[in-house]
Structure 1
């Protein structure tokens, strides 16, 4: 006897009833009535010529044959569900863009602009990774990255997104801030730094002060931590123009007197050179490159 496709509703009802050992609970799960579930089960029993359930006053229980069919039906329906879910996920992945970038860049520049992207591309989903370590662009890895650096990385296409400048900032309430009139005065107050390769030494040299002893009181691994420490009044931070914008706009930080230092590095959108970008990732790249830097 071959199992026909018109058996599937009856098998689904039976499998649910067998799992719950209760027709009413199966009906609730399948959005049917209990009588409809009972009808499907009796139809299946009639076709097979065997009893699948023992009916008694307290409810139902599986017969030996019913248990055998329940195990097979449960396994088969689980396999079908798994395949359907996998196929659905693959379809959804065509509209998924996986991005790896910097925590500071994400919070200060990218996230405030994402509502505009969502409005323009409501069908594209973003997964954003802000781990410090550089992510490998292998199979199953991210589609894109936004990196801060010289603009050339082996095996990656690098598209320049924007440059930056660096300048000193502090909270309006920092003790001694009212005495700052030039770059030389900044060296007299506590300095806050991060671990980047361009910092206070470069800024003081650019300002024309070559003999300044730079000994930051606080050093952080993340640029946003520098800005938050400065906003708390711990000292003067050397800010990156793109990252500090929200702090300046809110008034939590002020730009101090002194020159702006052109950043040695810039921000780049990168992706593997060996594979073509999917349409969703290309749409995100095009949107990024169309954004004004400020």
Structure 2
């Protein structure tokens, strides 16, 4: 099993947070150093207490319900803060390094966290703490070593590494039977309030002037909009790099053909200039570079 975590013993919210990040009972159990049965019991207890399902059990794994996705996006920064507070009291274990990274929640859940296990396998002496926020990075005021930010990659006092291509595509559940872009005029559009211009940008590129880019349902993060699309509530405008799993297992489909590449307006890993990088930060940058497709 994995090393013991910094948080207190297992409780329902903690079991759900680990399961939601990893979308796996067994992986959550390994991270928390307990049995899968213990994690499953705690998640069921939380669902009973809240009076709503947090996961949909599908073939080969789990999917978050809209309520589960919303709850997870709220819990991740709380647990990250709790781990940091615990470290402040107990101190880091001898010989360990701590790396504090901040990321938008959707990118953290959909891209970064699923890949972190490979970093830990390579660097077992480095603890990576992931916090989430969509606010601009501010290394002068925040106690973080680096972060992930959406934009053009040119910010004062920062060096950057481009992580993914920002390709926008409309996606929907197979049951929506979306086959033609003209159908969008009668569909509910699903928006992320963190990325309010994505639908307008794509519709303009598609030449669809009869579709109102502002109509539909709005969610606080893309993570929630994607989950609403999985549940069949409408059509989301998605970043292709963040829904590869859903496209592969046909939980979501992208049948309209047009993929709009926003080119350099995408997610970048950023770190401050003007001060030496720690060995942990250099190792993390090298690991990220190995994942990046030119």
The TM-score bracket by the shorter chain reads: 0.5 to 0.7
Q: Of residues 107, 110, 132 in structure 2, which corresponds to 1:130?
A: 132
Q: What's the C-alpha RMSD, in Å, of the aligned pairs?
A: 2.6
Distance 1:221 1:263, change over 3 A: farther
Question: Partners of 1:293 and 1:110 in 2: how far apart?
Answer: 15
Asked if structure 1 preserves the Cα contact closer than 8 Å seen for 2:163 and 2:292, the reply is no
SS of alignment partner, residue 268 of structure 1: strand
The alignment's TM-score, normalised by the length of structure 2, stands at: 0.64
Q: CA deviation at 1:208?
A: 2.2
1:156 Cα deviation after fit: 1.3
How far, CA to CA, are the matches of 2:141 and 2:227 in structure 1?
A: 37
- 5 Å-filtered alignment, 1:46-65, equals none
Partner of 2:274: 274
Structure 2 stretches lacking a partner, 5+ long: 1-86
Q: Taking structure 1 as reference, are residues 193 and 93 closer, same or farther at Cα in structure 2, changes over 3 Å only? A: farther
2:218 matched residue in structure 1: 219
Would the aligned equivalents of 2:147 and 2:270 in 1 still touch at CA under 8 Å?
Answer: yes
Query: How far, CA to CA, are the matches of 2:117 and 2:104 in structure 1?
Result: 19
Per the TM alignment, residue 293 of structure 1 is displaced from its structure 2 partner at its CA by 4.7
Q: Counterpart of 2:163 in 1: which secondary structure?
A: strand
Q: Residue 189 and residue 266 in structure 1: after superposition, are their counterparts in 2 closer, same or farther (change >3 A)? A: same
Give the corresponding residue for 1:143. Answer: 145
Distance of 2:103 and 2:281 partners within structure 1? 14
User: Match of 1:9?
Assistant: none
2:184 alignment counterpart: 186
Aligned to 2:107: 105
Q: Give the number of aligned pairs.
A: 206
Matches within 5 A, 1:236-251: 236-251=235-250
Q: Which residue of 2 aligns with 1:170?
A: 172
SS at match of 1:126: strand
Q: Following superposition of structure 1 onto structure 2, how do residues 29-108 of structure 1 map, counting pairs within 5 Å?
A: 89=91, 92=94, 95-108=97-110
- Provide the secondary structure at the position in 2 that maps to 1:270: strand
**Mapped partners of 2:167, 2:213: distance in 1:** 20
* CA positional deviation for 1:163: 1.9
Q: Mark the CA change 1:223 to 1:285 in structure 2 (over 3 Å): closer, same or farther.
A: same
Deviations 1:105-135 (A, max 9, x none): 1111111111211111111110111123334
Q: Is the 8 A contact 2:166 2:241 kept in 1?
A: yes
The structure with more radius of gyration: 1
Per the alignment, residue 255 of structure 1 pairs with 254
User: Which position in structure 1 is the counterpart of 2:117?
Assistant: 115
Give the 3 Å change call, closer, same or farther, for CA 93–105 of structure 1 in structure 2: farther
Work out whether residues 194 and 223 of structure 1, in 8 Å CA contact, stay in contact via their aligned partners in 2.
yes
Which ranges of 4 or more aligned residues in structure 1 deviate by more than 3 Å?
88-94
C-alpha separation between the residues in 1 aligned to 2:156 and 2:233? 40
